[in-house]
């Protein structure tokens, strides 16, 4: 084999490798769906050989990254209204529904034993309750020995869609609490961590703490979580059936790019802190968008089992069909 032949082969291999790498899809954003996206991208690669890289950096970073066209797609748990989508030249549609749990680290209090009324949740996160044996907490927990220890609230340090949806729930309890991706917390003791994994780690490490995290992180790490009072006055454990009951109240329409905030739904059996998570795409990148929707379409068809095992609620078939029609209308399928 001549040197020229070797060089030609090397150049061809380099071009081929570059083409493969160029075809890889890159996304970043919401950590809320991080576990299910990790499962989907792994299974998609095994099934098709197509690689999708998703980095769970938080919804705020995802929105910023897609606006700057730093990635092919972004994840956000905060849906964007039509005017913001138009200004940023973005498409949007939901991928899956999940839930936010209130996980805690209190000696002697097992998973599901702590019951938090709406008033107690408000008191903890606004600083009205400073200690675990405050009357607003103990009145619904007569069988528990809650300590006279200060409450440490674990929150997000970054701009977060999980925070947006949790503060949406807090706002339903107390309208003075503003909905925000990064609010100013007034709780007694506050420790901030980056992404759902950072908040989860703080809860694990800090005694007498409580924080809000996506359900799959609770499952993965074996963290205890509270029963939370819903708008019907029922204390509901965070379980997939209670999330499914809540998700039934979601209303989606392609006319507003599927904008919906489904927190604090109706229904006596509904868990009260649920949220959809969304995909954002740049309107001008039609061909790349087709590759992203091919991945999501594969996940809609083949990813429900993985989603359910991780504690998410797959979208109803009718909603998936509406999203596919939306893709066709936007010429990205």
For residue 1, being part of any structural domain is answered with no
pLDDT in tens, 216-244: 999 999 999 999 999 999 999 999 999 99
Burial class (CB in 10 A: 0-12, 13-18, 19+), 46: exposed
CATH number of the domain bearing residue 50: 3.40.190.10
Closest CA to 32 of 331, 325, 313: 313
For residue 11, being part of any structural domain is answered with no
Helix (H) or strand (E) run with residue 73 in it: strand 73-76
Write the CA distances from 286 to 70, 158, 283, 292, integer angstroms: 16, 31, 7, 10
Lookup result for tokens 């209190």: 106
For residue 270, being part of any structural domain is answered with no
The reported pLDDT for the residue numbered 9 is 42
Q: Are residues 299 and 166 located together in one domain of the fold?
A: no
For residue 268, being part of any structural domain is answered with no
C-alpha to C-alpha distance for 313 and 253, rounded to whole angstroms:
19
pTM of this prediction?
0.86
Q: Are residues 70 and 158 located together in one domain of the fold?
A: no
C-alpha to C-alpha distance for 181 and 226, rounded to whole angstroms:
23
Q: Are 181 and 59 in contact (CB under 8 A)?
A: yes
Q: Are residues 28 and 131 located together in one domain of the fold?
A: no
For residue 267, being part of any structural domain is answered with no
Helix (H) or strand (E) run with residue 210 in it: strand 209-214
The reported pLDDT for the residue numbered 250 is 87
C-alpha to C-alpha distance for 126 and 134, rounded to whole angstroms:
14
The reported pLDDT for the residue numbered 69 is 98
Q: Are residues 77 and 109 located together in one domain of the fold?
A: no
Write the CA distances from 332 to 40, 80, 279, integer angstroms: 20, 19, 13
Q: Are residues 237 and 112 located together in one domain of the fold?
A: yes
Residues of the chain with confidence (pLDDT) below 50: 1-22
The reported pLDDT for the residue numbered 112 is 97
As a 3-state breakdown, the chain gives helix, strand, coil percent values, each rounded to 5, of 45, 20, 35
Q: Are residues 120 and 188 located together in one domain of the fold?
A: yes
Q: Are residues 150 and 187 located together in one domain of the fold?
A: yes
C-alpha to C-alpha distance for 136 and 174, rounded to whole angstroms:
15
Q: Are residues 215 and 256 located together in one domain of the fold?
A: no
Q: Is the dihedral of CA 161, 166, 172, 178 positive or negative?
A: negative
DSSP 3-state assignment of 201? helix
Q: Are 229 and 117 in contact (CB under 8 A)?
A: yes
The reported pLDDT for the residue numbered 16 is 35
For residue 242, being part of any structural domain is answered with yes
For residue 130, being part of any structural domain is answered with yes
* Residue 27, φ and ψ in degrees, nearest 5: -135, 160
Q: Are residues 128 and 204 located together in one domain of the fold?
A: yes
**Domain enclosing residue 304, as ranges:** 23-98+249-262+275-329
Q: Are 25 and 73 in contact (CB under 8 A)?
A: yes
For residue 139, being part of any structural domain is answered with yes
The reported pLDDT for the residue numbered 23 is 53
Radius of gyration of the chain (CA): 22
Question: Structural domain tally of the chain?
Answer: 2
């Amino acid at each position: 084999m001549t040197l020229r032949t070797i060089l030609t082969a090397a150049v061809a291999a380099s071009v081929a490798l570059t083409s493969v790498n160029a075809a890889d899809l890159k996304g970043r954003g919401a950590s809320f769906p991080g576990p299910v996206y990790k499962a989907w991208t792994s299974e998609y690669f095994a099934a098709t050989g197509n690689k999708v890289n998703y980095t769970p950096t938080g919804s705020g970073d995802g929105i910023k990254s897609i606006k700057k066209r730093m990635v092919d797609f972004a994840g956000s748990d905060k849906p964007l209204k039509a005017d913001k989508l138009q200004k940023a030249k973005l498409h949007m549609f939901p991928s899956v529904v999940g839930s936010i749990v209130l996980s805690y680290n209190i000696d002697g209090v097992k998973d599901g034993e702590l019951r938090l009324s709406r008033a107690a949740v408000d008191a903890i996160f606004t600083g009205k309750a400073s200690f675990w044996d405050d009357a607003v907490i103990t009145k619904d927990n007569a069988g528990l020995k809650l300590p006279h220890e200060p409450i440490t609230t674990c929150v997000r340090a970054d701009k977060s869609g999980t925070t947006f949806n949790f503060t949406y729930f807090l706002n339903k309890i107390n309208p003075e609490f503003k909905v925000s991706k990064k609010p100013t917390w007034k709780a007694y003791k506050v420790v901030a961590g980056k992404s759902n994994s950072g908040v989860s780690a703080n809860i694990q490490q800090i005694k007498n703490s409580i924080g809000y995290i996506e359900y799959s992180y609770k499952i993965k790490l074996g963290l205890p979580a509270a029963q939370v009072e819903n708008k019907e006055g029922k204390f509901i454990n965070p379980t997939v059936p209670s999330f499914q009951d809540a998700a039934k109240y979601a209303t989606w329409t392609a006319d507003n790019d599927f904008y919906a905030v489904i927190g604090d739904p109706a229904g006596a059996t509904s868990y009260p802190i649920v949220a959809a998570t969304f995909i954002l795409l740049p309107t001008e990148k039609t061909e790349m968008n087709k590759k992203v929707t091919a991945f999501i379409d594969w996940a809609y068809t083949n990813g429900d089992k993985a989603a359910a095992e991780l504690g998410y609620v797959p979208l109803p078939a009718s909603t998936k069909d509406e999203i596919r029609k939306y893709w066709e209308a936007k010429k990205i399928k």
